[in-house]
Amino acid sequence: MALRREGIVLLCDKPAGITSHDMVQAVRRERECKAGHAGTLDPFATGLLLVLLDGATRLQRFFTGLPKTYLTQARLGWRAGITARRTLSGNVRVVVQLRQRNGDPQTQASLTGEMRHPADENRDRPLRFSEMSPGIYEAELTGLAPGNWDVLVSNQGHDPFQASRRLWLP
């Protein structure tokens, strides 16, 4: 007769400087069990990370659909609007509109990013943006499955900047 392992949801206070994956790996090693998380936090972010153990990993999809609140602090005063849509060919086009504090377009940024799947880190995909017009940056991906995706964008140039948004892709 097989033993049934009950699930546990750990409420973890993730510190800055480690990834969500690192935190799950540490719990997995310490507890010697199956473990996952219910949504990625950026390495620089602090906050609540739900770590799901054993049978609770099957509940992950319910946790990722819950409303979340993100608080950020921008030093530069830049504002980023992040959208994504499917093209007629089925690809996903991610558009970032980047504005300075005074509303002018932020040009010549060196944006990179990542599309992160909240349930499966193996599906994460890098984003490489091109400036299509002043302050408008686009990246296009093929083969992205429908569902929730976290879009993470950062400026690799002289002025550091990061923005993120969870999107639903049909």
Q: Which of 42, 120, 150, 159 is catalytic?
A: 42
Q: Please confirm, yes or no, whether 150 is among the known catalytic residues.
A: no
Whether the CB-CB separation of 79 and 135 falls below 8 Å is answered with no
Tell the burial category of 118 from Cβ atoms under 10 Å away from its Cβ (0-12, 13-18, 19+): buried
Q: Which helix (H) or strand (E) holds 33?
A: none
Burial of 73 (0-12, 13-18, 19+ CB in 10 A): exposed
Helix (H, G, I), strand (E, B) or coil at 43: coil
Question: Which strand ranges, in their side-by-side order, compose the sheet holding 147-155?
Answer: 125-128, 111-116, 147-155, 161-169
Name the residues annotated as catalytic: 42
